[in-house]
């Protein structure tokens, strides 16, 4: 197909990630875990391409069975045994075998094959192809399967500190977001024991049960794992809206303070107050020259938790938006849904395309799947979700927390001012 005539549907199907990629991303976030993708080579390469954007060495510990048509008909055991050989002589701390859609149809007992082949390390074997669901579905499925194998049931022991549940470097800018949340919590006096799913040592899985509180960040990723840990070990959890914007960060910390009082909460509150005063003066100076930050239409199409967190910050803190559309599934609490004027399904590409095509003085917060229709003369585009092939982000600036709030507001104002300058100059020379 000629790339000049690619539709929004084409871009979404070709570029967005399935459950297999989500499951592999979770295992890639565990230090010492080896991964085998049980499926065709092209599924493996797509998954590797996604993960290596944040983990450049993933190909060293993720391999593929390279199933072909014969495997689909006669079974994949021989292919799997060949892929298992390196892990028999040098067993990793954990071996994860992820079967894609085609391998799932074969129905091999992957765990039994691994044990029969002589693999001595713990093995997590899951089905996680495109038919299972989205990236988040695969990540959540893999996390619970891992807990089932490695987490011991413990109750009544002395607990301390908190865990962050449901963060991954395979979300766009996810590693920087994790660092910012750890910084905020540490500043409030909490001991952050682990970020589950983001560069976590396998030996520390048991430690998850020793925290006083689990904090779910991206609920589409981490909520099933938090519920599993609570049911098995009694560790309570909370799942507030992620902290986007200064006010959003204040609300996020307040929810944590209410669940587990901090030792230095006043320090965190003082930091937010100082940032609000400082930034208010600078932004007001810009408003005196350029007026309010205004968008006629804004479309946010990102993972669920990101979408609703950004929607709340955009509408209540960052800008005036006449029509705010959010293409994301509602959260369980659904409180943020009142922020949006229109809520559409992530898969409703037809309506998303209508919104983008009709935009004037608009804002797109999403990925390269949507930006194919983003006319820079009519809208500002901010990438916050994979895939991203049309922007570069190599700094350590997060999207969440206080540093993230300033970074996104910088981007909104600078992009808006630049577009107005170009419009004025075009009028002068027209």
Do residues 141 and 192 lie in contact, with contact meaning Cβ atoms separated by under 8 Å? Answer: no
Residues contacting 423, CB < 8 A, separation 6+: none
- Judge whether residue 107 has pLDDT over 80: no
Task: For residue 18, give the DSSP letter.
Answer: B
d(CA 142, CA 19): 9
- Judge whether residue 13 has pLDDT over 50: no
Nearest to residue 255, comparing CAs of 209, 216, 218, 310? 216
Residue 130: the pLDDT is 57
Decide whether 162-264 matches 266-428 in CATH topology: yes
Reported confidence tier of residue 159, pLDDT bands at 50, 70, 90 = confident
> Residue 376 corresponds to which tokens in the numbers above?
């820079």
d(CA 316, CA 310): 10
> Residue 257 corresponds to which tokens in the numbers above?
């303070």
Nearest to residue 229, comparing CAs of 166, 170, 169? 166
Average pLDDT, the chain: 90
Instruction: Determine the average pLDDT of the residues in 363-379.
Output: 92
Residue 72: the pLDDT is 73
Mapping DSSP to helix (H, G, I), strand (E, B) and coil, where does residue 342 land? Answer: strand
Specify the fold of 16-150: Rossmann fold (3.40.50)
Reported confidence tier of residue 341, pLDDT bands at 50, 70, 90 = very high
Query: For the CA atoms of the chain, what is the radius of gyration?
Result: 23
> Residue 283 corresponds to which tokens in the numbers above?
């932004």
- Judge whether residue 14 has pLDDT over 50: no
> Residue 153 corresponds to which tokens in the numbers above?
């049931």
Residues contacting 403, CB < 8 A, separation 6+: 180, 397
Q: Which residues pair with 38 in a beta bridge?
A: 99
Buried b (16+ CB within 10 A) or exposed e, 2-39: eeeeeebeebbeebbbbbbbbbbbbbbbbeebbbbbbb
Helices (H) then strands (E): counts for the chain: 16, 15
Region 162-264: CATH code: 3.40.50.1980
Q: Give ∠ CA 231-237-238 in degrees, rounded to 5.
A: 140
Summarised one tens digit per residue, pLDDT across range 239-280 is 999 999 999 999 999 999 999 999 999 999 999 999 999 999
Q: What is the pTM of this model?
A: 0.92
Residue 16: the pLDDT is 60
In DSSP notation, 32-93 reads TEEEEEES-HHHHHHHHHHHTTT-TTGGGTEEE----HHHHHH-SHHHHHHHHHHHHHS--S
Q: Dihedral angle at the C-alpha atoms of 381, 384, 389, 391, nearest 10 degrees?
A: 60
Give me the helices (H) in 346-429, please: 349-358, 368-371, 401-429
Instruction: Determine the average pLDDT of the residues in 215-221.
Output: 97
Reported confidence tier of residue 129, pLDDT bands at 50, 70, 90 = low
Residue 75: the pLDDT is 75
Q: Dihedral angle at the C-alpha atoms of 7, 9, 13, 14, nearest 10 degrees?
A: 10
d(CA 206, CA 196): 11
Q: Domain map of the chain by residue range?
A: 16-150, 162-264, 266-428
Summarised one tens digit per residue, pLDDT across range 29-68 is 999 999 999 988 988 999 999 999 888 889 999 999 998 8
d(CA 306, CA 291): 28
d(CA 171, CA 307): 13
Nearest to residue 320, comparing CAs of 287, 281, 294, 350? 294
d(CA 223, CA 170): 17
CA 342 → CA 227, 318, 333, 352, 426, distances in Å?
Answer: 30, 19, 17, 11, 33
Please name the residue that has the structure tokens 């000629």.
Answer: 2
- Judge whether residue 344 has pLDDT over 80: yes
> Residue 112 corresponds to which tokens in the numbers above?
């039994």
- Judge whether residue 235 has pLDDT over 90: yes
Instruction: Determine the average pLDDT of the residues in 365-372.
Output: 94
Please name the residue that has the structure tokens 């609490």.
Answer: 333
**Between 71 and 10, where is the model more confident?**
71
Domain 266-428: CATH superfamily is Nitrogenase molybdenum iron protein domain (3.40.50.1980)
């Amino acid at each position: 197909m000629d790339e000049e005539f690619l539709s929004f549907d084409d871009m979404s199907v070709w570029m967005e990630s399935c459950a297999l990629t989500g499951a592999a991303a979770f295992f890639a976030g565990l230090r010492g875990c080896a991964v085998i993708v049980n499926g065709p080579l092209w599924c493996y390469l797509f998954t590797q391409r996604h993960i290596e954007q944040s983990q450049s060495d993933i190909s060293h510990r993720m391999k593929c069975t390279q199933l072909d048509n014969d495997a689909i008909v006669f079974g994949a055991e021989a292919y799997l045994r060949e892929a298992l050989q390196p892990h028999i002589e040098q067993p990793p701390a954990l071996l994860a075998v992820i079967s894609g859609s085609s391998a799932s149809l074969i129905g091999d007992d992957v765990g039994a094959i691994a044990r029969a082949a002589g693999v001595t390390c713990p093995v997590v074997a899951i089905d996680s192809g495109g038919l299972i669901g989205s990236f988040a579905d695969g990540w959540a499925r893999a996390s619970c399967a891992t807990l089932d194998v490695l987490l011991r049931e413990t109750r009544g022991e002395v607990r301390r500190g908190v865990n962050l549940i449901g963060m991954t470097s395979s979300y766009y800018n996810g590693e920087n977001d994790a660092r910012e949340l750890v910084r905020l919590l540490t500043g409030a006096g909490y001991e952050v024991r682990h970020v589950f799913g983001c560069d976590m040592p396998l030996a520390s899985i048991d430690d998850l049960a020793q925290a006083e509180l689990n904090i779910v960040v991206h609920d589409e990723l981490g909520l099933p794992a938090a519920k599993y840990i609570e049911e098995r070990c009694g560790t309570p959890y909370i799942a507030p809206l992620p902290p986007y914007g200064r006010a959003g960060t204040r609300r996020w910390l307040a929810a944590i303070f209410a669940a587990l009082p901090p030792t230095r909460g006043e320090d965190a509150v003082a930091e937010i107050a100082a940032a609000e005063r400082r930034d208010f003066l600078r932004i007001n100076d810009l408003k005196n020259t350029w007026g309010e930050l205004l968008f006629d239409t804004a479309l946010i199409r990102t993972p669920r938790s990101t979408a609703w967190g950004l929607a709340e910050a955009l509408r209540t803190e960052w800008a005036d938006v006449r029509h705010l559309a959010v293409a994301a599934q509602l959260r369980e609490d659904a409180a943020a849904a009142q922020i949006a004027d229109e809520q559409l399904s992530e898969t409703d590409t037809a309506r998303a395309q209508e919104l983008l095509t009709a935009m004037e003085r608009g804002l797109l917060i999403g990925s390269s799947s949507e930006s194919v229709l983003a006319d820079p003369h009519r809208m500002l585009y901010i990438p916050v979700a994979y895939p991203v092939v049309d922007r570069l982000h190599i700094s350590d600036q997060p999207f969440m927390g206080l540093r993230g709030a300033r970074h996104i507001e910088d981007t909104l104002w600078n992009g808006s001012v630049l577009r107005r300058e170009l419009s004025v100059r075009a009028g002068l020379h027209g």
